[in-house]
A and B are shown apart, each in its own frame.
Chain A
């Protein structure tokens, strides 16, 4: 199963997202995103298995944690 990454607005938001995922028993890891993806320089994201990405984004929406692009098949 390949991994997907949700781009986060900040390192703090990424940590919050990772902890939110952990509470839902989703394995998640904070990763650096290559600047070529975001065009805004250094960025961070939360990496999960692609089949968990919808659950994670639903949780983020519910908790009002803003996020950016979803980078698939990472």
Chain B
């Protein structure tokens, strides 16, 4: 059975062959990057630095401000806990994933700071919730439920005008939507390597504005100044305690080369074209409710009378991979009105085709018909 993969918001699949090759090739250089000056360690360090430069180029940043983490959640933890000070007021958007919401709530629940939720679709809501002690704003660039996309340039401008640190969760948008950190006044840009950037799982990224100072969340070896009892002040080493995932970083670098060649704006257009077709199909289904924005890599919906989990299970039998439930984003489901059961989520990558959209629509229609027929006659 041919697989139609529509769970790209969880991780992109398939990965282009050059990424697989880069991962495989990296095992030829098994030295630990930054832990020696022998040939294999040097080669490994070069791979890491090349990837820092690729990331920096993609988001208008400096290579030394690109830190590698395990995943986006770790990057968000470093940014939120590293930038928030005792007594600060923090604003977080109503589309936040638990990757940013839970780290913030751990600070709030321990009495370290206070927080409010704002609707990133409405800039005046954000402005109304600013307080004199608002020091950090956290924004989900693109929702992992509905493709609703925040105007981060406008929010960045508000942050710059008010001396507020601006943390952006670009987990769904990185690689799909152009992001310019300098232009958008972003302090900390957090993302996974394995979604829109096409890297393997196991690497996340925290890109920082020049001069950003973080408190550390974890400490450990960095390969330099090993007699010091504290982490170095300099980025990225300050945020990189322990050995880096070289293979994942090599794959990520190849992933960024792939999307750079394609062009992020072209990827955005292709994905929007596919989601328009998906929306066209879904809008023909009378019983379907589609949530939030209709254009972008993620489309969520429900069908009256059929639980999302039932659709997920049945459609999987037909070779289609998608995700149902809450997608680790309860705030977003509250915002969109799908909190009761969550939703069915279709998420796209530029590797998808128009045929995939049509195959999905036909499978969904079949499931709806079967479910209707299975219901007892009234």
B227 x A12 contact (CB < 8 A): no
Cα–Cα distance between A41 and B232 once the two chains are bound (Å): 12
B89 within 8 Å of A (CB atoms):
no
B222 x A10 contact (CB < 8 A): yes
Main secondary structure of the interface of B (DSSP, over half): loop
Cα–Cα distance between A9 and B232 once the two chains are bound (Å): 8
Cα–Cα distance between A62 and B238 once the two chains are bound (Å): 24
Residue count of chain A within 8 Å CB distance of chain B: 20
Return chain B residues, CB-CB under 8 Å to A39.
227
A32 x B222 contact (CB < 8 A): no
Q: Which of B41-49, B76-84, B147-155 contacts A (4 or more CB under 8 A)?
A: B41-49
1/0 per residue B34-70: CB within 8 Å of A?
1011000010011001001000000000011000000
B127 within 8 Å of A (CB atoms):
no
Return chain A residues, CB-CB under 8 Å to B228.
40-41
B16 to chain A, nearest CB (A): 27
Cα–Cα distance between A9 and B228 once the two chains are bound (Å): 12
A41 x B37 contact (CB < 8 A): no
Which among A12, A13, A15, A30 has the highest number of chain B CB atoms within 10 Å?
A12
Contacting B49 at CB < 8 Å: which of A12, A42, A43?
A12
A15 x B45 contact (CB < 8 A): yes
1/0 per residue A8-33: CB within 8 Å of B?
01111101100100000000001110
Main secondary structure of the interface of A (DSSP, over half): mixed
Cα–Cα distance between A40 and B222 once the two chains are bound (Å): 13
B46 x A44 contact (CB < 8 A): no
A43 x B63 contact (CB < 8 A): no
A35 x B227 contact (CB < 8 A): yes
Return chain B residues, CB-CB under 8 Å to A15.
45-46, 49
A19 to chain B, nearest CB (A): 8
B225 x A30 contact (CB < 8 A): no
A41 x B42 contact (CB < 8 A): no
Cα–Cα distance between A31 and B232 once the two chains are bound (Å): 19
Cα–Cα distance between A30 and B45 once the two chains are bound (Å): 10
Cα–Cα distance between A13 and B42 once the two chains are bound (Å): 14
- 27 A/B residue pairs, CB under 8 Å, sorted by A: A9-B234, A10-B64, A11-B45, A11-B222, A12-B34, A12-B63, A12-B64, A12-B234, A12-B235, A13-B64, A16-B63, A16-B64, A30-B37, A30-B42, A30-B45, A31-B37, A32-B36, A32-B37, A39-B227, A40-B226, A40-B227, A40-B228, A41-B225, A41-B227, A42-B226, A44-B223, A66-B234
A interface residue numbers (CB < 8 A to B): 9-13, 15-16, 19, 30-32, 35, 38-44, 66
